Amino acid sequence: MPEEQRAKAASLMVVGVDNYDDALWKLQQGVGGIFITSWANPELLTTPGRNIVALREAVGRPFSVSIDYEGGRVQRHEHVIGSWLSPRQMATQMTPQEVERYATDLGNVLRWHGVTVDFAPVLDVDAHGLEVVGDRSFSTDPVQAGEYGAAFARGLAAARITPVFKHFPGHGQASGDTHHQLAVTPPLEQVLAHDLPPYATALPQVDGAVMVGHMVVPGLGDGRTPSSLDPAVYRLLRSGDYPGGRPFDGLTYTDDLTGMRAITDSHTLPQAVVAAVRAGVDQPLFSSGGALVAAIDALDEAVTRGEIPTERLDEAAYRVQLQLLRTGA
């Protein structure tokens, strides 16, 4: 049925929100999740009647609530959630077991404020001192990055927060910051050897999700398309066809489709959403939701035209609902 198909298309969207009213309107459009942006009114985390609890009562259906909370440089609304060590500090000062307990404490705070998904841990390996990675990475060593990332994810999961490993297949060796430009990694062989070992370590340990970044990987796909829009990248992730890898059937997100020039220089939001779902993502993520209805319409129409198989939409919608059930969102 057309209405059911459009509802499934809407359920894939995870969209940034500004305040209670904005979040309520977007949820009424059927989105599957909201993203607490750095500029969101903190009432969503604090104010009875205007917070996430009130949204759940008003909407009356499950939805995810996500935030960027890595610790260190990336911790949104730290005046509410608190200040936490950066990943590099954690790995320098703590054992993996201590990091796991530390992340459980963070997860409990997030959960208390209504959050169900944390876009962390970063599994990028800090290879060349790229500023956008830096101390957001647990280590310059792929093995240590994987061990500490897995520990952080286990801790979040113990607090019933879905951890999201990022940025597959690896941003640490990229030529630049995808917030500002289209960045290119070294050839696939180097990515397999250096950037993907943390995923081989961490993914089997935790029932988490994966965020796919916007880097171009020479030798993977057409060598021009950002990973988040590239079917070859999703096939690599799903197959586990990399050293030590295993097949992955969990939820996938794109990196932000509206706040990063690696995408916005060449795609409108509706175009990017269609390309990402066609490529294999389950949840397109975008921090700015001005074109939300157009994006839902574009995805719905792409399925109707046969540009995206119905089975692809069903598969993604199933994973979204399954994760909501697992987290009790």
- Which candidate in 68, 255, 282, 300 is catalytic? 255
Residue 255 bears catalytic tag: yes
Helix, strand or coil, per DSSP, at residue 150: helix
Q: What is the DSSP letter of 200?
A: H
Q: Which of 18, 105, 141, 179 is catalytic?
A: 179
Looking at residue 192, what DSSP letter applies?
A: I
Query: How far apart are the C-alpha atoms of 160 and 234, rounded to whole Å?
Result: 26
| Length of the chain measured in residues | 329
Catalytic annotation on 179?
A: yes
How far is residue 307's CA from residue 55's CA, in Å, rounded to a whole number? 35
Q: Which has the closest alpha carbon to 65: 104, 27, 115?
A: 115
Q: How many CB atoms lie within 10 A of CB 164?
A: 26
Q: Which residues contact 162 (CB under 8 A, 6 or more apart)?
A: 64, 116, 117, 118, 156, 207, 208, 209, 251, 323, 326, 327
Catalytic amino acids?
179, 255
